[in-house]
Amino acid sequence: MAVRNAIEIRGLTKRYGSLTAIENITFEVRRGELFGLIGPDGAGKTTLFRLLATLLNPDDGVATVDGFDIVGQYKEIRKRVGYMPGRFSLYPDLSVEENLEFFAALFGVGVKDNYDLIAPIYTQIEPFRKRRAGKLSGGMKQKLALCCALIHRPSVLFLDEPTTGVDAVSRSEFWDMLSELKSKGISILVSTPYMDEACRCDRIALCNNGKILGIDTPAGITARFDEPLYALSGDNMYGLLVEARRIKGVKECYPFGESHHLVADSMFDSDEFTAHLNGQGFHNVSIRPVEPGIEDVFIKLMQHE
């Protein structure tokens, strides 16, 4: 019988001494799904990947990848997964093509065996095939690392912060490549600290401090934000933040890119709010309703943790 879920995790816990890096995590990644782990540094994303890639053993709980247990059946899992770790995973002194050949040999396949899978990605770096991997740009390294992780045609792909430190255009191209791989039936678990990338996933888990704060589709996550939200800006942004937090009807106010986001309650009146700030000597105050994004939900969930 075909295994329905690519990954199943039940009550998984991992400690490093007295520090609990992963605490009682439960979720599943469906077959063919592009699933995102979204969270800041230290959330436990890398630890989770290392557990699922069978490089660490859990202290508690169970997990399967492609139907195989991460502890008892680790050899089966290693044949079936592709893992692109966060840090540079290539051999910097080997050329592009030597890296690819090395990873293919590691899995007992030839580069030609699964070339169709990597071709759309590899053709972009092929002109540089003689160049040492250490001399490639960030975006090209990322493409080569992805080819190396795919060379044995894994059924499940683990990508730990693949777009960190990569320019915006390469980041967007990378997500296009992931959509393409997904359409070929590969299940993908990918982590990112960038909230704007979350919307490229089928479902996401918001993680912080080793715990999962919420799991849903990106639209389902943003729908959880059910309070009036405004963008606030003006001269003296810091003073504005401090003063806004004191005003009646303001539940929260936090810096958000170029403006502040303000969460209001039912008592909030934006005209009164602006008049108050003008009376306090603030200039060019602008307040306008905005749609919540995933980051707003994240901030809200973290505050209630």
Asked if 16 is part of the footprint of ligand ATP (rule: CB under 6 A), the reply reads yes
- CB-based contacts of 88, cutoff 8 Å, min separation 6: 141, 145
Nearer Cβ to ligand ATP (2/19): 19
Asked if 155 is part of the footprint of ligand ATP (rule: CB under 6 A), the reply reads no
Nearer Cβ to ligand ATP (85/139): 85
Closest separation in Å from C-beta 21 to ligand ATP:
4
Closest separation in Å from C-beta 205 to ligand ATP:
12
Compute the distance between CA of residue 96 and CA of residue 133 in angstroms, rounded to an integer.
5
Closest separation in Å from C-beta 46 to ligand ATP:
3
Site size for ligand ATP (CB under 6 A): 11
Please provide the DSSP assignment of 34-81 as one string: EEEEE--TTSSHHHHHHHHTTSS--SEEEEEETTEETTTTHHHHHHHE
In the chain, helix, strand, coil percent, each to 5? 35, 30, 35
Is residue 126 packed enough to be buried (19+ CB in 10 Å), middle (13-18) or exposed (0-12)? exposed
Residues in the chain, total: 305
Asked if 87 is part of the footprint of ligand ATP (rule: CB under 6 A), the reply reads no
Closest separation in Å from C-beta 58 to ligand ATP:
13
Contacting residue, 19, 108, 169, 271, with ligand ATP by CB under 6 A: 19
Compute the distance between CA of residue 165 and CA of residue 136 in angstroms, rounded to an integer.
13
Asked if 192 is part of the footprint of ligand ATP (rule: CB under 6 A), the reply reads no
Asked if 277 is part of the footprint of ligand ATP (rule: CB under 6 A), the reply reads no
Binders of ligand ATP among 27-66, rule CB under 6 A? 39, 41-47
Asked if 21 is part of the footprint of ligand ATP (rule: CB under 6 A), the reply reads yes
Sign of CA dihedral 57, 79, 171, 37: negative
Closest separation in Å from C-beta 159 to ligand ATP:
12
User: Where does this chain bind ligand ATP (CB under 6 A)?
Assistant: 16, 19, 21, 39, 41-47
